[in-house]
C-alpha cells in the first residue's frame, strides 16, 4: 500500500529515529493513540524518498486494514511474496512501514523472523498504539533486534511549531514575547498537547475531540488490550488520579476509598502507566530514615486529559496542580524520566522536582513566585550543596531577596535541559 505525501509538521524525535534508518535493527515506535506516530512515519517516508530510494521500495501497511493483518499473520514469506508482487527491488534496501503492529497475533515472532531472514534486505519501522499491547506480545527473542522510541504528545516547543509561532526558545526574549508565550502556555496547560487538539481552533471542538480520545482509550484500548472486567471502577480511579495530579500516590488509601483490592489498584496503575496515560516519579533520597517514603507522585501524560477528567470540561483557569503537570510534561519529553525525582522529608518538607543531570537541580513549580514558597528548595540546596536552585513560574518577582534562585518561565527550562 503506497502512502500519499502531504505537508506535515516536524517532531523532535524524528532526527533521532532518522539516524538509524540505515541500520539493520527493527525500529519500533511506542505511544498512545493520536500522539502522531503515523505522521512521524509519513515524515520518515518523505525523508527516505528524498534520499533517492526508489519509491517502489517504500511500502506502508496500516494494520487497521484486516486484509493486511491477515497477510502478515500468514507469515513472513507471504509478505515477501506480496512485496515481490508489487515490484519491490530486492537488489536494493526495502523499507516496510507497519502501523499498529499490536494487531498481529504474534508480532514478536513476525519481527524476529523478518530480522533473522531479511535484515539486510528489508528494513522494518513499526508502530503500536499501546506500549502495554505491544509488550504483552513481545518476547525476549527480540532482544538486540529492535530499537525502541517512545512517542509522546507535543512538548511546548513543538506546540509552538504547530501554532506556526516562530519564536526561538533558549534565547533571550523581550517582555512582549514573554507575554505572548504566557497566553500560549496557558492554552498548552489547560487543553493539552495532542497534535489534533493543538491544530483545532475551536475550543468546543477541542473539548469534543479530546473526550473522544479518552473514550477510545477507555472503550477500546483497555477493553481490547487489558481485559479489564470492572471498567467502571477503572474509570473512577483514572478520574481520581487526574484530580490528584502531582500528589503522593497512596495505594492503600485508594484501595479503601474505592473499595478495590490493593493488588487490583496496582494492576490498574501498571496498565495506565504502560498505555501512556499516567507516569509515576519516585523520591530522591540519601537517607531513607529522614527522607520520606517509597510512595511515588503521579502525573498524567497530558494536562488536557487531566483537566477534562478532573473537571468534566476545560477549566478556564490554570490551577497549581495543572501547571505542575504541564511542567512535568516538558521535563519528561526533554529528559530521561529516570533522572526526574521529587523530594520529601518526614517533616513534610518537599521540593516538586529534583533533576539529576550532570549535577542535582532542585526545581519548584509555582504559578506566582514568592520567596516563602521556595524555602524547601533552598534547604535542599544547602543540604546537598547544589549550585543551582530554580523556580518555574508564570509570574516572576523582581523584588525577590534570593538572588541565587533562578526564576524561569516554563518555556525557559530548555536553557537548562540542553
What confidence tens digit (pLDDT) does each residue in 371-383 have? 999 999 999 999 9
Domain count, the chain: 2
**405, 316: one domain:** yes
| The predicted structure's pLDDT at residue 5 | 47
Residues spanned by the domain of 347: 157-417
Confidence of residue 149 (pLDDT cuts 50, 70, 90): very high
**399, 343: one domain:** yes
Whether 2 shows a pLDDT value over 60: the answer reads no
Average pLDDT over residues 390-408: 93
| The predicted structure's pLDDT at residue 330 | 95
Chosen domain end from 107, 132, 151:
151
| The predicted structure's pLDDT at residue 290 | 57
In a domain, 1, yes or no: no
What confidence tens digit (pLDDT) does each residue in 47-76 have? 878 777 889 999 999 999 999 999 999 999
**207, 67: one domain:** no
| The predicted structure's pLDDT at residue 293 | 64
| The predicted structure's pLDDT at residue 340 | 95
In a domain, 6, yes or no: no
In a domain, 88, yes or no: yes
In a domain, 4, yes or no: no
Whether 4 shows a pLDDT value over 50: the answer reads no
**Phi and psi for 350 in degrees, rounded to 5?**
-145, 140
**133, 195: one domain:** no
- Give the CATH number, domain containing residue 295: 1.10.10.10
Average pLDDT over residues 121-149: 83
**141, 193: one domain:** no
| The predicted structure's pLDDT at residue 390 | 95
**129, 162: one domain:** no
**143, 76: one domain:** yes
In a domain, 135, yes or no: yes
Confidence of residue 289 (pLDDT cuts 50, 70, 90): low
In a domain, 255, yes or no: yes
Whether 130 shows a pLDDT value over 80: the answer reads no
Chosen domain end from 127, 151, 175:
151
> Among the listed ranges 127-141, 185-199, 246-260, which one has the minimum average pLDDT value?
127-141
Average pLDDT over residues 268-277: 91
**207, 322: one domain:** yes
Q: Helix (H, G, I), strand (E, B), or coil: what is residue 125?
A: strand
**197, 53: one domain:** no
In a domain, 106, yes or no: yes
Percent of the chain with pLDDT strictly greater than 90: 74
Q: Burial letters for 29-57: b for 16+ Cβ neighbours within 10 Å, e otherwise?
A: bbbbbbbbbbbbbbbbbbebeeeebeeeb
In a domain, 5, yes or no: no
Percent of the chain with pLDDT strictly greater than 70: 95
CA distances from 62 to 100, 258, 391 (A): 7, 40, 45
- Give the CATH number, domain containing residue 17: 3.40.50.300
| The predicted structure's pLDDT at residue 285 | 81
- Is residue 197 within 8 A of residue 154, CB to CB? The reply is no
| The predicted structure's pLDDT at residue 305 | 95
**139, 230: one domain:** no
Whether 6 shows a pLDDT value over 60: the answer reads no
Chosen domain end from 125, 151, 177:
151
**95, 110: one domain:** yes
- Is residue 299 within 8 A of residue 279, CB to CB? The reply is yes
Average pLDDT over residues 331-349: 91
Confidence of residue 304 (pLDDT cuts 50, 70, 90): very high
Residue positions counted in the chain: 418
C-alpha cell at position 239: 478520574
**350, 274: one domain:** yes
Amino acid at each position: 500500500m503506497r502512502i500519499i505525501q502531504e505537508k506535515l509538521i516536524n517532531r523532535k524525535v524524528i532526527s533521532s529515529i532518522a539516524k538509524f534508518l540505515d541500520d539493520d535493527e527493527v525500529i519500533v515506535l511506542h505511544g498512545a493513540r493520536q500522539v502522531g506516530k503515523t505522521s512521524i512515519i509519513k515524515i520518515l517516508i518523505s525523508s527516505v524518498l528524498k534520499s533517492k530510494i526508489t519509491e517502489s521500495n517504500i511500502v506502508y501497511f496500516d494494520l487497521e486494514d484486516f486484509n493486511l493483518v491477515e497477510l502478515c499473520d500468514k507469515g513472513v514469506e507471504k509478505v515477501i511474496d506480496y512485496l515481490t508482487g508489487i515490484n519491490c527491488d530486492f537488489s536494493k534496501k526495502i523499507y516496510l512501514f507497519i502501523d499498529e503492529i499490536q494487531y498481529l497475533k504474534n508480532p514478536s515472532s513476525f519481527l524476529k523472523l523478518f530480522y533473522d531472514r531479511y535484515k539486510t534486505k528489508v528494513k522494518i519501522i513499526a508502530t503500536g498504539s499501546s506500549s502495554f499491547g505491544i509488550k504483552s506480545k513481545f518476547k525476549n527473542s527480540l532482544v538486540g533486534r529492535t530499537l525502541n522510541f517512545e512517542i509522546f504528545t507535543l512538548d511546548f516547543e513543538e506546540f509552538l511549531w504547530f501554532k506556526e509561532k516562530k519564536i526561538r526558545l533558549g534565547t533571550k526574549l523581550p517582555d512582549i514575547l514573554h507575554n505572548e508565550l504566557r497566553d500560549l502556555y496557558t492554552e498548552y496547560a489547560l487543553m493539552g498537547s495532542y497534535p489534533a487538539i493543538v491544530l483545532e481552533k475551536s475550543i468546543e471542538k477541542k473539548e469534543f475531540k479530546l473526550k473522544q480520545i479518552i473514550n477510545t482509550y477507555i472503550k477500546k484500548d483497555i477493553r481490547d488490550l487489558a481485559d479489564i472486567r470492572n471498567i467502571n471502577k477503572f474509570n473512577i480511579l483514572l478520574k481520581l488520579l487526574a484530580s490528584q495530579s502531582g500528589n503522593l500516590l497512596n495505594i492503600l488509601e485508594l484501595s479503601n476509598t474505592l473499595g478495590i483490592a490493593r493488588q487490583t489498584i496496582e494492576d490498574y496503575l501498571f496498565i495506565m502507566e504502560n498505555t501512556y496515560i499516567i507516569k509515576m516519579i519516585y523520591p530522591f533520597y540519601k537517607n531513607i530514615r529522614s527522607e520520606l517514603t517509597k510512595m511515588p507522585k503521579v502525573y498524567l501524560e497530558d494536562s488536557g486529559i487531566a483537566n477534562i477528567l478532573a473537571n468534566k470540561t476545560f477549566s478556564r483557569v490554570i490551577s497549581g496542580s495543572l501547571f505542575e503537570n504541564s511542567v512535568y510534561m516538558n521535563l519528561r519529553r526533554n529528559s530521561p524520566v529516570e533522572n526526574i525525582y521529587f523530594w520529601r522529608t518526614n517533616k513534610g518538607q518537599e521540593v516538586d522536582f529534583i533533576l539529576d543531570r550532570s549535577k542535582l537541580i532542585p526545581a519548584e513549580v509555582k504559578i506566582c513566585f514568592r520567596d516563602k514558597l521556595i524555602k524547601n528548595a533552598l534547604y535542599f540546596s544547602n543540604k546537598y550543596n547544589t549550585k543551582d536552585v530554580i523556580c518555574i513560574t508564570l509570574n516572576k518577582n523582581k523584588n525577590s531577596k534570593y538572588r541565587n534562585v533562578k526564576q524561569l518561565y516554563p518555556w525557559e527550562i530548555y536553557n537548562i535541559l540542553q
